[in-house]
Amino acid sequence: MSDAVSAQGLTKRFGTFTAVDGLTLTIPRGAFYAFLGPNGAGKSTTIALLTGIAAPDAGRLEILGRDALARPLEVKQHIGVVPEELSLFERLTGRQYLTFCGRMQGLPGDAAAARAQELLALTDLQPKAGALVAEYSKGMRRRLAIAAALVHAPELVFLDEPFEGIDVLAAGVIRELLAELSRRGVTLLLTTHVLEIAERLATHAGIIVAGRLADQGSVAELKARHGVERLEAVFEALVGVPAARGAALSFYGPRP
């Protein structure tokens, strides 16, 4: 089978600024791919290109064996997207929102309602199924967005910073849900700044720096290639994490 994602030379410019610069990305089917990089490196722009939210200025892109630039609507039927900035219908209940999303994906009414019920249980939202989304906490909203992205059983799911700004309990539910999806063969692309989560869950990883892919491969390959034991060390080697400068604390006086 073809790869889940195959991108060659993807480029996206905003005026004179190049956000994504000739990116070549390969994600095997069934992989849990951690897409890592510092703030402003181009992660969210890349996801916008991969999911059809934005059009590239150059490059080629295949998603699940389909030309994503020529057949974008067909591709979208087979992918799920959880954006960093959530936009949910707050005047619907959680159950109504998921049923609506199922109907929008073409599911019959009964099937959409049944799928909503299953996803509410899977994301630990069943106790609040009848509450308005406006009453949901940030972690609950994030779980609801993930449930909505799964309502049509997509083969490939993109998650942009799903652990951002949520508490430990919500993060635990999402982590276990993603691990279960991975076990079931769903291909996942995750952006996160929490390298511990990437280390625990990811089978593959790619590190983007200033719009360019610095390295990618299976997590085992990356560690071996860079001679380290942790994915965090690969990240630091490629990104170049600066050391703290003692002069920045000069107002405390000299070090003892």
Residues 42-65 have a mean pLDDT of 95
Over the stretch 185-236, which tens digit does the pLDDT of each residue have?
999 999 988 899 899 999 999 999 999 999 999 999 999 999 999 999 999 9
**pLDDT for 9 beyond 90:** yes
Total Cβ atoms within 10 A of residue 166 = 19
Please give the C-alpha separations between residue 220 and each of 143, 172, 182, 229, in angstroms, as whole numbers.
30, 24, 17, 9
pTM above 0.85, yes or no: yes
233 within some domain: yes
pLDDT at 171 over 90: no
Tokens 């000069």, residue located: 250
What distance in Å separates the CA atoms of residue 248 and residue 256, rounded to the nearest whole number? 16
Q: State the burial class of residue 25 (Cβ atoms within 10 Å of its Cβ: 0-12, 13-18, 19+).
A: buried
CA 2 to chain centre: 21
Convert the pLDDT of each residue in 108-125 to its tens digit. 999 999 999 999 998 999
- DSSP symbol at 229: S
pLDDT of residue 55: 95
Ranges assigned E (strand) in 97-240: 156-160, 187-191, 204-209, 212-218
CA 137 to chain centre: 20
> Rounded mean pLDDT of 73-87?
90
- 85: pLDDT confidence band, cut at 50, 70 and 90? confident
CA distances from 248 to 139, 236, 241 (A): 36, 22, 16
Q: Domain for residue 48, yes or no?
A: yes
Is 22 among the domain residues? Answer: yes
**pLDDT at position 167:** 82
How would you classify residue 92: left for phi > 0, otherwise alpha for psi between -120 and 50, otherwise beta?
beta
pLDDT in tens, 125-158: 999 999 999 999 998 999 999 999 999 999 999 9
Looking only at the bridges linking them, the beta strands covering 58-63 and 187-191 are unpaired
Query: Is 131 part of a structural domain of the chain?
Result: no
Total number of domains in the chain = 1
Measure the N-to-C terminal CA separation of the chain; round to a whole number of Å.
Answer: 62
Which of 66, 68, 32, 23 has its CA nearest to residue 50?
68
99: in domain: no
**Closest C-alpha among 41, 103, 105, 58 to residue 79:** 105
Residue 254 inside a domain? The answer is no
Residue-averaged pLDDT of the chain: 91
Residue 241 one-letter amino acid:
V
The answer to whether the beta carbons of residues 10 and 168 sit under 8 Å apart is no
For β-strands 212-218 and 204-209, DSSP reports them as: antiparallel
Does some domain include residue 143? no
Q: Span 237-241, mean pLDDT?
A: 85
CATH number at residue 55: 3.40.50.300
Residue 168 lies in a domain: no
Give the residue numbers spanning the domain of 70. 1-78+192-240
| Cα-based angle 131, 147, 159 (whole degrees, multiple of 5) | 130
DSSP strand pairing (5-14 vs 17-27):
antiparallel
